[in-house]
Amino acid sequence: MTIAYLNGVFLPLENAQVSVLDRGFLFGDGIYEVIPVYGGRLFRLPHHLRRLHDSLAGVRITNPLSDAQWTAMLTELVSRNEGSDQAVYMKVTRGADKKRDHAFPAGITPTVFAMSAPMPPVRDLDKETGVSAITLADIRWKMCNVKAITLLPNVLLRQQAIDAGSVEAILINDGYAIEGAASNLFIVKDGVITTPPLSSALLPGITRDLILELAARNAIPCREADITEAELYDADEVWLTSSTREISPVVTLNEQPVDDGNPGPVWKQMILLYRDYTNAVRRGAAD
Ligand code: PDD
């Protein structure tokens, strides 16, 4: 049975209910996090709690729990659910008032919800064939660094990609490739990894952050720089990264092969380092 957490209580997921006046339901007024769990251990929890804190500050919701309380709650949630590899989804909304009003109501308590689902099985790297993506115009708002639950543009963009037979949309803003609808973007050209620099145009991904760390630690050339649309199409490798998809090699872009249409050597090197890291998390040797 899947166990969820809602406002201080652990309960079966199907029994978790919130008011229709919750501002998350009325306005998409809230923020969320997705945290992978490897071997029962929450991956990079301090990083996720920092981003949660930043997202809450960005939308002016007071953090309802201390880091110690978040840690205790999430650890208990993971232990109450089956499987050693899980994906935790957690959210905070501004809460429910007695009526619908765009302005912040005074004195309401934020709603805190979390649930956990099994992670998809670890992919066999030798059988990795890569994914296809299309480029689409970035129709999102100007605070994409905030992990807001207001995801209608991302949902529409992802579905447009799926309808076109792809798995993800790479978003183009003013001639620059920014990120995926639910993932960060990397390219490789002549052995150098590039990802767009952090700004309000994209989410500061925790996976992105780890890839930058792993590249630096292993002396793999890597830089944060804007990626033009032309550079995207000319790349030797294109990757999409997120907590649930790790590092996905894009082998087809707008129906054209990326390089020779196979996952590239730099991706292979990085995914092996990434897997070493997640295995270290499983052993308790990394966080
Ligand atoms: N999404 N950019 C966007 C717009 C995202 O939604 C995500 C993740 C990322 C990658 O961030 P991270 O590496 O911290 O997962 C980048 C999550 C997984 C989701 O919405 O389910």
Strand, coil or helix: 247: strand
Confidence at residue 122, expressed as pLDDT on a 0 to 100 scale? 86
Residue 287: inside a domain: no
**DSSP character at residue 200:** T
Do residues 53 and 143 both lie within one domain?
no
186 CA from centroid of ligand 1 (Å): 14
Atom of ligand 1 nearest to the CA of 202: 2
- What spacing in Å lies between the alpha carbon of 207 and ligand 1's midpoint? 9
Cα torsion through 240, 241, 246, 250, rounded to 10? 10
Å from CA of 107 to ligand 1 middle: 31
End position of a domain, from candidates 93, 118, 143:
118
3-state secondary structure 23-44: HHHHHCCEEEEEEEEECCEECC
Residues 67 and 158 reside in one and the same domain: no
HSE-up (13 A, CA, CB side) for residue 219: 0
> Using an 8 Å Cβ cutoff, are 203 and 218 in contact?
no
Query: Token pair 């990326």 is at which residue?
Result: 258
Distance in angstroms (rounded) separating the CA atoms of residues 173 and 256: 21
CA-144 nearest atom, ligand 1? 4
| Number of domain units in the chain | 2
CATH number at 137 reads 3.20.10.10
**190 lies in the same domain as 100:** no
Cβ distance 134 to 166 under 8 Å?
yes
By alpha-carbon position, which residue is closest to atom 4 of ligand 1? Answer: 182
Contact predicate 92/110, CB 8 Å = yes
pLDDT value of position 120: 87
How close is the Cα of 208 to the center of ligand 1, in Å?
10
What is d(CA 278, CA 255) in angstroms, rounded to the nearest whole number? Answer: 32
Q: Which protein residue's CA is at the shortest distance from atom 19 of ligand 1? A: 182
Of the residues 66, 100, 118, the one at which a domain ends: 118
pLDDT the model gives residue 121: 85
Q: Among 85, 118, 151, where does a domain finish?
A: 118
The CATH number of the domain holding residue 61 is 3.30.470.10
pLDDT by 10s per residue, the chain, length 287: 999 999 999 999 999 999 999 999 999 999 999 999 999 999 999 999 999 999 999 999 999 999 999 999 999 999 999 999 999 999 999 999 999 999 999 999 999 999 999 998 888 999 999 999 999 999 999 999 999 999 999 999 999 999 999 999 999 999 999 999 999 999 999 999 999 999 999 999 999 999 999 999 999 999 999 999 999 999 999 999 999 999 999 999 999 999 999 999 999 999 999 999 999 999 999 98
Q: State whether 86 and 163 are in the same domain.
A: no
134 & 65 share domain: no
- The minimum-distance atom of ligand 1 relative to the CA of 89 is 21
Pocket test for ligand 1, best of 88, 200, 203, 247 (most atoms within 8 A of CB): 203
pLDDT at residue number 123: 87
Please indicate, yes or no, whether residues 145 and 62 belong to a single structural domain of this protein: no
Q: Residue 238 belongs to what H/E stretch?
A: strand 237-242
- Domain enclosing residue 193, as ranges: 125-282
State the catalytic residues: 147
Residues within a 6 A CB radius of ligand 1: 34, 179, 182-184, 203, 205-208, 241-244
Q: Strands 184-189 and 30-38: what pairing? A: unpaired
